[in-house]
Amino acid sequence: MQTGKVIKFIVKWLSDYCDNSGMNGFVTGISGGIDSAVTSTLCAMTGKPVWALRMPIYQDVEQHTLAARHIEWLMAHYDIVKTYTIDLTPPFEAFRKVLPSEVQDDLAMANTRARLRMVTLYAFAGHSRLLVAGTGNKVEDFGVGFFTKYGDGGVDISPIADLMKTEVREVARELGIIREIRDARPTDGLWADNRSDEEQLGAAYEELEWAMRFEESGGNASGLTDRQEEVLGIYRKFNQANRHKMEPIPKAEIPDVLR
């Protein structure tokens, strides 16, 4: 990958899209992970205003610290960046109190965290005419669909959605993103036990990228190793189960004869 040229392409794409939409800049959530660090930096490189928000909900200390360090680094390099920390733990707890206990399973409440953050991002976006910049990469968003519908998937634009996770890491190195963020294990930060993405998915991103490329190329499954077959099964399972997130909302189209 021609990393420098890719960066310039995305920055120009962001700038042009913002200009054509008549918006003023961007807002994005900062998690302490590599995807949000890269996305926020690319947005800042346009020279347009950027709001970088921290939105902790019982957040792991390390994630909170890395998010703060990235924002500090970002503001030191780009004077158009503003930041705000909104503690979403109280509204999350308030919602839990009014929600029937029988629907409060772990997954439902993890997704609720992501959706509260989406609401917060759009509050800033609506007030200041900003675009909500998504932080999902290609294998996450369009391979296994590893995101919350109307949570971190609720965005206006997706700057890094055509980059594999390994390519995001290349971009991060080129941009000079803090090493601790580049080396941190990927996690969505939505679970009390701080489980990693790999623990949830059952495969590393490098493996899932291989499976995605294998599927796209129409590869022959014969001759695969046991692990490759296992990873391919994992990829196909998530891709099928999460297809509803990656495709347009189904709509009932009324036949002309009924009108």
Annotate 118-170 with three-state secondary structure.
Answer: HHHHHHHHHHHCEEEECCCCHHHHHHHCCCCCCCCCCCCECCCCCCCHHHHHH
- Tally of domains in the chain: 1
pLDDT tens, residue by residue, 6-27:
999 999 999 999 999 999 999 9
Evaluate whether residue 255 is within a structural domain: no
Which residues, in sequence order, are bridge partners of residue 67? Answer: none
Evaluate whether residue 141 is within a structural domain: yes
Q: What pairing do the DSSP bridges indicate for beta strands 50-54 and 81-85? A: parallel
Q: Round the average pLDDT of the chain to a whole number and report it.
A: 92
Integer Cα distance of 105 and 125 in angstroms: 31
Higher per-residue pLDDT: 193 or 248: 248
Evaluate whether residue 50 is within a structural domain: yes
- Give me 83's structure tokens: 């930041």
Determine which helix (DSSP H) or strand (DSSP E) holds 126, and give its type and residue range. helix 106-128
CB count within 10 Å of CB 60 equals 16
Integer Cα distance of 61 and 58 in angstroms: 9
Instruction: List the domain range (segments joined by +) for residue 10.
Output: 3-195
Integer Cα distance of 53 and 65 in angstroms: 13
User: What is this structure's pTM?
Assistant: 0.91
210 contacts: CB under 8 Å, gap ≥ 6: 228, 231
| C-alpha to C-alpha distances, 148 to 126, 151, 191, 202, 240, nearest whole angstrom | 21, 5, 13, 18, 15
Task: Judge residue 101's burial from the number of C-beta atoms within 10 Å of its C-beta, 0-12 exposed, 13-18 middle, 19 or more buried.
Answer: exposed
Evaluate whether residue 110 is within a structural domain: yes
7 contacts 160 by C-beta, under 8 angstroms: no
176 contacts: CB under 8 Å, gap ≥ 6: none
The reported pLDDT for the residue numbered 105 is 92
pLDDT tens, residue by residue, 51-94:
999 999 987 777 888 999 999 999 999 999 999 999 999 999 99
CATH code for the domain of 78: 3.40.50.620
Evaluate whether residue 216 is within a structural domain: no
